[in-house]
Structure 1
Amino acid sequence: MVFTSFGVPAPGPVEQRWTPRLVISLLSIVLMLEMLAISYIMIATALPYIAKHYQTTQGAWLLTAFLLFGAMVAPLLGKLADLYGKRLMLLVCVFGAALGSLVSAVAPTYSILIVGRALTGLLVACLFLSYSLIRDVFPPKTIALAVSIATSGMGIIAIPAPFITGWLIDGFGFRSIFWFTLIALAVLGTLILFTTQESTIRQHARLDLLGAILLGAGIAGVLVGVSFGPTWGWAATSTLAYLIGGVVLIGAWLVSAGKLSDPLIDIKVLRRRSVAFTVLAAGCIYGVSGLYTMLLPMLVMTPKELGLGYGFGSTAEGTAIFQAPLGLFTVIGGVIVGVLVGRIGAKPRIMMAAGAVSAGFGCLFTAFSHDDKLLIIVFGALVGLGMGLGYAAVPNLLIEAVPPQLQASTASIAGVFQSVFPAVLPVIAFTVMNNSFTAVFPPEITKMLGGAVMYTSDGFKIAYLIAAVTAVGCLLAALALPSRITQLQVPSDGAPAVDEADREDAVVA
């Protein structure tokens, strides 16, 4: 088979330009991925209402369960997509996430709500499955723009999402956000089914079930340990058991992957600079996004009357004026990458570095000035622009580095990093805030707040600085990428190999 420079099959009897079917296909994929993006906004905004309804202090599980399950199953779903079809696995994830939304909407107890949120975490895999599928079935000239728009969104839902969220919660209660997600995913999944072709590219290999179990369980162990370390105590037996057990299982997966002819993910691929630093940069930029998105509603919804030096007493719907610019500039960043990479051949690594700089400055400025509405909106726009540039750069980098046969399984590791970093970074930030920066009030105010924890202005300063440092990590990873990426060659037997031209691109010789 002949491949183009993007690694997709050479032009045949398929559309070579934008057609109504392709436009609807891309629109359906974009809207579905925007449901992943706005899930953070909706849950962050609804969290106080959910915690009050179920009388729980374990609100962090709403995000942890979502990301944990998504990270656990991502490598397995990526491999299955390479073996049996990317559209098939994408549809499995979309309708599985819709089922999770249904469970969440009717959940009588908090534990069942967490089960629903975990199933909805299948949306995490939709991200890398989508751009892997686009690579295979879209015309070559449209790929760079299509994957950039898909990963950063078009703003059709993301921009009005804060207004929709506030309207739903204030008017119909927190369960309405799950019903909204269920209906949207069911409709979009059906549209994808009828407008998006299945990829004909397959990897001929056996499924590594042992590797899937070892890696999935290892990721789960580390995430549970990190998520509940602050509650259980970092030196507690349970925390250490999860952390050490997770690391041991991941180590066992690395050993098994090095010995098998058809591992879940080929280690030689991950050793390449072009892949290793791409997934690291992806984790960092998504970590910045996750932490910033979680902090923003807390910051602006805090009553100004408390005199903490921040807070505007915004309602759920009122947070939209701060969140909408974030979504708008995320879209703008994605379009910039799609146009520059697709039309004039700009380097995705430069786009990633620019995104890290923009997001980093946005977080840094917010750390030192978060008591002015206009400034917070401007700083949020900077963060959003950085997110859009970074989101769109990731798939374009992986398209350059990895052939179609290994695209989904390799991109799944980026998906793991994109889940782990947003799960871990808030835990680090809130551990620091809870240990040193909780605000103390007179008993009557504490009673009025219903036991809710409030943080000092310095606490938010530290949290935003943590996000800014993570953005610096993204920048360093982007700069460490090779200036010229050579795509990995796949021999006729399907086994990945690093040829002489690629050895200089390896992280480990």
Structure 2
Amino acid sequence: MNSFGSTPDIETRGPAEDSGAGWSPKVILSLFSMALVLELLSISYLLISVALPQISANFHTTQSAWLLTSFLLLGAVTSPLIGRLADTHGKRKLLLWCIGLAAVGSLLSALASSFAILVVGRALTGMLSPTVFLVYTLIRDVFPPRTVAMSVSVSISGMGLVAIPAPFLAGWLIDNFGFRSLFWFTLICLVVLAPVIMLTTDESPVRLSSRLDWVGAVLLGLGLAGVLMAVSFGPDWGWTDASTVAYLVGGLVLMGAWLVSARRVKQPLIDTRLLMNRPVALTALASGLVYGAIAVFTIVLPFMAMSPSELGLGYGFGVDAEGFAYLQAPLAAATVLGGVVVGRLVKRVDPRVLMVVGLGLMAVGAAVTALSHGNEGMVIVFGAIVGLGTGIGYASTPNLLLTVVPQSLQATTGALASVSQNVLPAVMPVIAFAVLNSHIATVLQGQAFYSDTGISIGYLIAAGTAVVGVVAALALPRKTEASAELQELAAESGGSDTSTPAAALLL
């Protein structure tokens, strides 16, 4: 029995493995098409961030953070379910279903006549999130053995490098064709890639029997959504308004019900025993806070940079979407560099130290941006500092996992860390915008412009998120201490079993 409690029914090799083949046109095209799906996921958050000011003006809303939150929240809640469905029914089948649902979401977003429909479309596009582990595990199952390591490496490295040209692509599309062009672009790519994957990629022969915690997914998803609705709309409705209180209390009750359910279900959506274990919980928390801090920083940056300086708000460069790319690209390049730094140092430096350094750089970069954001050159430098810290934090996570957590629990902890990496960046922008919406300086043509104090507070929220991450990383026990704490839990979870369901392979 593995760490999710699943029992392997079939464990056979795919045709490619049996033949002993190596690289072939079919394998190369399969890898290329699946890697491009991951590229779309990688840049989807970035593309929509650049478009937020224009979308906010078009729909006359101050709740544009929900376009990011809905995308991440649905991905976080459905990923464990999709992983288990993939283990039961086939990884390629579920990969194609995810691509299809994401395509439907992109179409809804492109045609959306209201902000609510746009949010629904973005939520469906969040079904791209499970494609990460589906692609990696499908490569493992059906690619020729000699190509697996290189294929996974190409997929991972591509997801980092694409962030550099992505801002320029987003800027060109938005400035020339409007924000809807981003959704049409995503839709066209998905419609082209799906049949290529179907024709070039074999189905995985691996099957694991497992139960689906649908009740847990619904309770957790609705609970988080309820709390976030209260936080997001509280400034507009009033914190004591009946609607605010109802969403908050209802969300908390549902999350409490999820915790009770998770203790009683044999194979819960998330193993709550891990949530209460210090090494596992702190690893997941520190990792999630890296993602949460950069989510807030990158969501505030376009609103600050694209605001006209003529408004006299004390900030703003008046750049268009393409001009904003010159501010965003150095941050993305520094993020890639941070990953390289970890790769060079991780064998000599404790991953806990690297995580602290990464989060510390993020905190410093965001804090100095809060204090000084009137000069484009300085904002680029400060953003690069944040990007460098982000890259170090990203790359430290799997190394930290390998160092702190016993092998038998690494897959399950990886799944928990992935949920944290989706939930926290979904939550933090909502909190940031709830604060920003209390500091609106003026509204012009439907777009809200925030006061300089509000922008500063937004960056300070990013800095504070990173500081909490530093505290969590510092509180992580050393490897020997962690092993002692996790020994009993590891024994309960299956000991030395190394069989791993797709849902666990999220890092």
Q: Considering the TM-score relative to the shorter chain, is it more than 0.5? A: yes
Alignment-derived partner of residue 153 in structure 1: 159
Q: Aligned equivalents of 2:106 and 2:308: distance in 1?
A: 31
> Which amino acid is the alignment partner of residue 388 of structure 1?
G
> Which amino acid is the alignment partner of residue 245 of structure 1?
G
Alignment-derived partner of residue 44 in structure 1: 49
What SS class does the counterpart of residue 440 from structure 2 fall into? coil
> Which amino acid is the alignment partner of residue 39 of structure 1?
S
Alignment-derived partner of residue 481 in structure 1: 476
> Which amino acid is the alignment partner of residue 453 of structure 1?
A
Alignment-derived partner of residue 496 in structure 1: 493
Mapped pair 1:378 → 2:381 = yes
Q: Is the 8 A contact 1:152 1:334 kept in 2?
A: no
**Aligned pair in 2 of structure 1 residues 438, 289: CA closer, same or farther (>3 Å)?**
same
Q: Aligned equivalents of 1:63 and 1:123: distance in 2?
A: 13
Mapped pair 1:390 → 2:393 = yes
Q: How does 1:256-271 map to 2 (within 5 A)?
A: 256-271=261-276
Alignment-derived partner of residue 235 in structure 1: 240
What SS class does the counterpart of residue 447 from structure 2 fall into? coil
**Aligned pair in 2 of structure 1 residues 432, 113: CA closer, same or farther (>3 Å)?**
closer
Higher alpha-carbon deviation: 468-477 or 196-205? 196-205
Q: Aligned equivalents of 1:490 and 1:338: distance in 2?
A: 32
Q: Where does the alignment leave 5 or more consecutive residues of structure 2 unmatched? A: 3-10, 497-507
TM-score of the superposition, structure 1-length normalised? 0.80
Q: Is the 8 A contact 1:225 1:239 kept in 2?
A: yes
Q: Aligned equivalents of 1:143 and 1:281: distance in 2?
A: 28
Q: How does 1:353-368 map to 2 (within 5 A)?
A: 353-368=356-371
**Aligned pair in 2 of structure 1 residues 460, 216: CA closer, same or farther (>3 Å)?**
closer
What SS class does the counterpart of residue 317 from structure 1 fall into? helix
What SS class does the counterpart of residue 308 from structure 1 fall into? coil
> Which amino acid is the alignment partner of residue 168 of structure 1?
L
Alignment-derived partner of residue 61 in structure 1: 66
Mapped pair 1:172 → 2:177 = yes
Match of 1:471 among 466, 469, 486: 466
Higher alpha-carbon deviation: 411-420 or 188-197? 188-197
Match of 1:433 among 436, 446, 455: 436
Q: Aligned equivalents of 2:29 and 2:170: distance in 1?
A: 25
Alignment-derived partner of residue 503 in structure 1: none
What SS class does the counterpart of residue 366 from structure 2 fall into? helix
Q: Aligned equivalents of 2:239 and 2:221: distance in 1?
A: 22
Higher alpha-carbon deviation: 310-319 or 113-122? 113-122
> Which amino acid is the alignment partner of residue 153 of structure 1?
M
What SS class does the counterpart of residue 315 from structure 2 fall into? coil
Alignment-derived partner of residue 355 in structure 2: 352
Match of 2:82 among 61, 69, 77: 77
**Aligned pair in 2 of structure 1 residues 122, 438: CA closer, same or farther (>3 Å)?**
same
Q: Aligned equivalents of 1:470 and 1:159: distance in 2?
A: 25
Alignment-derived partner of residue 305 in structure 1: 310
Q: How does 1:47-126 map to 2 (within 5 A)?
A: 47-126=52-131
**Aligned pair in 2 of structure 1 residues 461, 372: CA closer, same or farther (>3 Å)?**
same
CA-CA distance at 1:188 after TM superposition: 4.5
Higher alpha-carbon deviation: 369-378 or 471-480? 471-480
Q: How does 1:211-222 map to 2 (within 5 A)?
A: 211-222=216-227
For residues 216-240 of structure 1, give each alpha carbon's deviation from its aligned partner in whole angstroms, at most 9, with x where no partner exists.
3323322333332233222222222
Identity of aligned pairs, percent?
51
**Aligned pair in 2 of structure 1 residues 373, 475: CA closer, same or farther (>3 Å)?**
same
Q: Aligned equivalents of 1:319 and 1:377: distance in 2?
A: 11
CA-CA distance at 1:302 after TM superposition: 1.3
Q: Where does the alignment leave 5 or more consecutive residues of structure 1 unmatched? A: 3-8, 441-445, 500-509
What SS class does the counterpart of residue 439 from structure 1 fall into? strand
**Aligned pair in 2 of structure 1 residues 209, 77: CA closer, same or farther (>3 Å)?**
same
Q: Aligned equivalents of 2:201 and 2:417: distance in 1?
A: 23
The count of aligned residue pairs is 479
Q: Is the 8 A contact 1:201 1:404 kept in 2?
A: no
Q: Aligned equivalents of 1:28 and 1:262: distance in 2?
A: 33
What SS class does the counterpart of residue 370 from structure 1 fall into? coil
Q: Is the 8 A contact 2:228 2:427 kept in 1?
A: yes
Q: Aligned equivalents of 1:145 and 1:332: distance in 2?
A: 21
Alignment-derived partner of residue 7 in structure 2: none
Q: Aligned equivalents of 2:357 and 2:140: distance in 1?
A: 24
For residues 300-342 of structure 1, give each alpha carbon's deviation from its aligned partner in whole angstroms, at most 9, with x where no partner exists.
111122232221110111101001111112222233334555x
**Aligned pair in 2 of structure 1 residues 110, 430: CA closer, same or farther (>3 Å)?**
closer
**Aligned pair in 2 of structure 1 residues 205, 57: CA closer, same or farther (>3 Å)?**
closer
